[in-house]
Chains A and B, each alone.
Chain A
Amino acid sequence: MIFLKLIYTNLRRHRIRTFITLAGIAFSVAAMLTVVTILQGAVGMFSSLLSAGSEMVVFEKNISDLFFSSVPDQAVKDISTWPMVKKANPVLFGIVSSAGHPLITCFGIDSDDARLKQATWLSGSAEKFNTTDSIVLGERAAEFLNAQTGEEVAIGHGKFHVTGVLRTRNGFEDGGVFMPLTEAQEFFHKQGIASVMTIKLNDKNQHGAFKERVKAAYPELIALEDEEFNRSYSQFKILKATAWAVGACGMLLGGLGIANTMIMSVFTRIREIAILRVNGFSNSQIAAVILGEAALVAMVGAVVGLLIGFVAIFALKHTPALHGYVDATVDAPIIAIILFVTCVTGVLGALYPAGYAMRVRPVEALRFE
């Protein structure tokens, strides 16, 4: 109890310094949580976008971005006839623009695509999807384009009839435009080409056989299970690495803040440390006081930071401009990692000050002051 009081009283004694350090840690944790969660959410949305009604994806080998992948119509037609394949859907990704909205994701899909079937139709229906110059809008796209079913909307260099508005649980889809595949191929000058093909197999145990067959029949293509794709897709890796790098930079700053505070703390309590030494405190007990102080600041900062992060994510999720793009799901492993990293940072930041405190010579410290 007294041991804890030794830790606590020093933090209370320098309230402003403690508050500033705590705030530094809290904002670092909040930044880490927010950035990691948002980017993880974006990755999750993109992968769920691929896995709608399917369990495998086929795309061009050795490409870094699916927007540049080319899967020929011939391959789509052929693969869809393989006995092990229950369903094969080509998807062409593209970016279109409209007045005031330079980036709108466009999905060129077939009318039997699972996206259209799984979505909630707010107006219109899938029946008119294949008509010429027609598009279906996601709910948010309809909002920002200010377009309704039956109206005409200008997108890129063309004008399209809105044949329906649908709601999905995916932010990219909700803010996107759905075109019939052939329409999209013409619009993007990619006749006879899809970006990817999503596959549903008759038997899930035939993943390996399917991959081998794709490899043999189409060496320029590759088939991956959805999980496998999420792990290996370089864009996802870059996004995740960026998120953790930004978070790590924040934590580094927080750690430096703790180090600075603890150095100040040790310097201002040399006499106190000397008194503890004279009364039999060992090096490890002295270090425990200093490290305990750092750990307490780090843990309280982490908890406050998590709260700030949750509030920030909630606010971002409910920001109209970002509606649907922020996935508010905060995974327990992410929180565990952040808490762990914060604690380690706090302790690392206090190592030098603790080492300094352990080297305090009581005789000199008591005489000097």
Chain B
Amino acid sequence: MSKVATQNAKTPLIQGENLWKSYEAGAIPVLNGVDLSVDAGETVALCGPSGCGKSTLLHLLGSLDEPTRGRVLLNGRELKRSSERRNALRHEVGFVFQLHNLLPDLTLEENCLIPSIAAGISRRDALVRFEQLAGRTGLIHRRAQKIQKLSGGERQRTALCRALMNRPALLLADEPTGSLDEKTSAQVFELLMELVATEGITLVMATHDRALAAKCRRLSEMHEGRLYV
């Protein structure tokens, strides 16, 4: 069962307040005062042209980066300390990227177990969870394969499994089907939405694909570092 059930229903799961982000001492502004609030169980698509700040916003929401100004609240808590951000990454947030970002020397199963190792979850429990996810994503028969031997769709499904291993409340997906062909893309996205629904996970997804975005409950447009709901 997802952690979503344990949270206060009135508090948004993830909240970005007046988020600004710039690089090189302000010379390259990326986000210009973004406000975003996502309730538990919502599916939100962020659409917009390349460079509009979608990925940066996801990174801030997922505690991978810190805003230049503004704050991010997860379950109403601001994650100020690095240990809090790390714990969020371990237990409450999962990431799926456009590129699968799997470790090529490890097998599919070993890649999926990495978040459990980081979180100190016992191998036995981690394997139970892995088999559950791998069964649902049709990867169980490929568990011992090295990443190089997997197809693009299988790799992305593996990345999805890995992201969900520690039962996060929030899944942040950055162009999760961007590197796949149309047919595989549709399959992976369908799987993603199915898992999100059955696990009760909140999804915030950056995508160029408006057809996929339309399947989310909420669509937000981004343009030049600003968010338009």
Contacts and interface: CB of A to CB of B under 8 A. Distances in A.
Interface of A: 1-3, 5-6, 9-10, 13, 271-272, 275-283, 285, 361-363, 366-367
Contacts of B144: none
A280 B101 contact: no
A5 B106 contact: yes
Interface stretch (B108-116, B187-195, B202-210): B108-116
B113 A2 contact: yes
Given A280-B86, A280-B166, A362 B64 contact: yes
Contact of A278 (B83, B89, B105, B113): B89
Contacts of A361: 65
A2 B115 contact: no
A367 to B, nearest CB: 8
A286 B119 CA distance: 13
B79 to A, nearest CB: 14
Contact of A280 (B55, B82, B115): B115
A280 B110 contact: no
B106 to A, nearest CB: 7
Interface of B: 55, 59, 64-65, 82-83, 86, 89-91, 95, 97, 101-103, 105-106, 110, 113-115, 117-119, 123, 162, 166
Nearest to A272: B103
A3 B110 CA distance: 10
Given A282-B86, A363-B59, A366-B97, A276 B114 contact: yes
Contacts of A282: 83, 86, 118
B89 A279 contact: yes
B162 A13 contact: no
Given A9-B106, A362-B64, A363-B59, A278 B86 contact: no
A5 B110 contact: yes
Secondary structure at the B interface, as helix, strand, loop or mixed, is helix
A5 B113 CA distance: 12
A366 B106 contact: no
Contact of B118 (A10, A281, A363): A281
Contact of B110 (A2, A271, A362): A2
Contacts of B110: 2, 5
Contacts of A275: 101-103, 114
Contacts of A5: 105-106, 110
B158 to A, nearest CB: 13
A3 B117 contact: yes
Contact of B65 (A1, A3, A363): A363
A295 to B, nearest CB: 19
Contacts of B90: 280
A258 to B, nearest CB: 21
Contacts of B106: 2, 5-6, 9
Given A1-B123, A285-B118, A367-B55, 5 more contacts: A9-B106, A275-B114, A279-B118, A281-B118, A366-B97
Given A2-B117, A279-B118, A9 B105 contact: yes
A281 B118 CA distance: 5
Looking at A2, A280, A362, the one whose CB has the most chain B CB atoms below 10 A away is A280
Nearest to B59: A363
A13 B113 CA distance: 21
Contacts of A276: 114, 118
B221 to A, nearest CB: 22
A280 B89 CA distance: 5
Nearest to B110: A2
Nearest to B60: A363
Contacts of A278: 64, 89, 95, 101
Max chain B Cβ within 10 angstroms of own Cβ: one of A13, A278, A281: A278
